C-alpha cells in the first residue's frame, strides 16, 4: 500500500515538474517584439473586426443584388458621378492609410465599370494617393515615414542609391507582390523630383491594376474560368516576387 502511495506521489511530482517547465517555456515565448507592436496589432484587429461586422450588416440585405452584375451596375449608375468619386477617394486613401488592399478595390472597379473605366478610376485614385504619400514623406522626412511604415520594411530599401532610384522604383512598381505603398513613402525620401516620382508610379502601377480590373470584368460578365486563371497567374507572379524580394532589392543596392 505504501509503495503504491509513494509511486503515485513520484508520478505527481514528475507531472508537476513537466508542467512547470512547459509554463516557463510558454512564459518566455514572445509573440510580439514590444508592447507597442502588441497594441498596434490589437488596434488593427479591432478595426478589421468592426469593419467586417459593419460590412456584413450593410451588405446582407443586398446580397441578391451583389450576385447580379447587371443589376448592381444599374444600381451604382443611379448615383451618377458619386460612385466613381467614392472609388477614387477610397483608392487614394488606401495608398496613404492602407485600410484595404488596392487590388480589392481594383477587382470591384472592374466588376462595376469594366476593365478600361475601372482602371481609369483606379489610376486616378492611385495617382492622388501616391502624390500625397510622396509629398508627406518629403515634407516631414524619415521620422514621419518610420511612424507610418514598419522600420523593417523601410530598411530593405535603404541600400538603394540615388543613381539607381529611378529604375528601381519603376521595377518595384511594375512587379506585383511588392509593397507598393511602402515604395511610395520610400520614393519621397529620394532626391528625385516629385513629378518624376508620380510619373514612375503611374507607368509602373498601371499594367498590374489593369490586369486586376480585367479579373473583375471577367467575373462581372460571367467568364469565371478565365477570371480564375488570370487571378491564379497574378497570384503566382506576386508570390514569386515576394519570395525573391531580397534578391530583387539587391540588384539596385550599393
Residue predicted with more confidence, 236 or 149 = 236
**Per-domain residue ranges for the chain?**
14-66, 68-250
Q: Which among 95, 87, 89, 90 has a CA at the least distance from the CA of 112?
A: 87
Q: What SS3 class is residue 39?
A: helix
pLDDT band at 93 (very low <50, low <70, confident <90, very high): confident
Q: Share the mean pLDDT of the chain.
A: 77
Given this model, what pLDDT does residue 51 score?
A: 64
Neighbours of 126 (CB within 10 A): 27
pLDDT in tens, 197-253: 999 999 999 999 999 999 989 988 889 899 999 989 988 888 888 787 777 777 776
- Angle of helix 194-220 relative to helix 180-188, nearest 10 degrees? 170
Given this model, what pLDDT does residue 120 score?
A: 95
What pTM was estimated for this model as a whole?
0.68
C-alpha 129/C-alpha 111 separation (Å) is 22
Highest mean pLDDT among 16-25, 57-66, 69-78, 90-99: 90-99
Copy the grid coordinates of residue 21: 517547465
Amino acid at each position: 500500500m505504501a509503495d503504491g502511495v509513494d509511486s503515485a506521489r513520484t508520478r505527481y511530482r514528475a507531472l508537476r515538474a513537466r508542467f512547470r517547465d512547459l509554463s516557463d517555456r510558454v512564459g518566455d515565448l514572445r509573440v510580439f517584439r514590444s508592447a507597442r507592436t502588441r497594441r498596434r496589432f490589437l488596434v488593427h484587429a479591432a478595426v478589421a473586426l468592426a469593419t467586417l461586422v459593419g460590412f456584413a450588416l450593410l451588405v446582407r440585405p443586398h446580397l441578391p443584388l451583389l450576385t447580379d452584375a447587371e443589376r448592381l451596375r444599374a444600381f451604382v449608375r443611379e448615383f451618377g458621378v458619386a460612385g466613381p468619386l467614392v472609388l477614387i477617394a477610397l483608392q487614394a486613401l488606401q495608398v496613404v492609410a492602407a485600410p484595404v488592399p488596392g487590388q480589392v478595390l481594383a477587382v470591384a472597379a472592374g466588376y462595376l465599370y469594366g476593365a478600361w473605366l475601372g482602371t481609369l478610376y483606379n489610376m486616378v485614385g492611385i495617382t492622388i494617393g501616391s502624390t500625397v504619400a510622396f509629398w508627406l514623406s518629403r515634407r516631414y522626412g524619415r521620422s514621419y515615414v518610420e511612424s507610418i511604415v514598419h522600420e523593417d520594411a523601410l530598411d530593405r530599401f535603404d541600400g538603394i542609391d540615388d543613381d539607381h532610384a529611378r529604375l528601381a522604383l519603376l521595377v518595384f512598381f511594375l512587379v506585383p507582390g511588392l509593397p507598393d505603398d511602402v515604395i511610395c513613402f520610400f520614393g519621397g525620401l529620394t532626391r528625385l523630383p516629385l513629378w518624376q516620382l508620380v510619373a514612375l508610379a503611374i507607368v509602373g502601377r498601371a499594367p498590374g491594376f489593369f490586369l486586376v480590373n480585367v479579373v473583375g470584368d471577367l467575373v462581372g460578365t460571367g467568364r469565371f474560368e478565365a477570371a480564375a486563371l488570370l487571378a491564379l497567374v497574378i497570384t503566382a507572379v506576386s508570390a514569386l516576387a515576394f519570395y525573391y524580394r531580397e534578391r530583387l532589392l539587391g540588384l539596385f543596392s550599393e
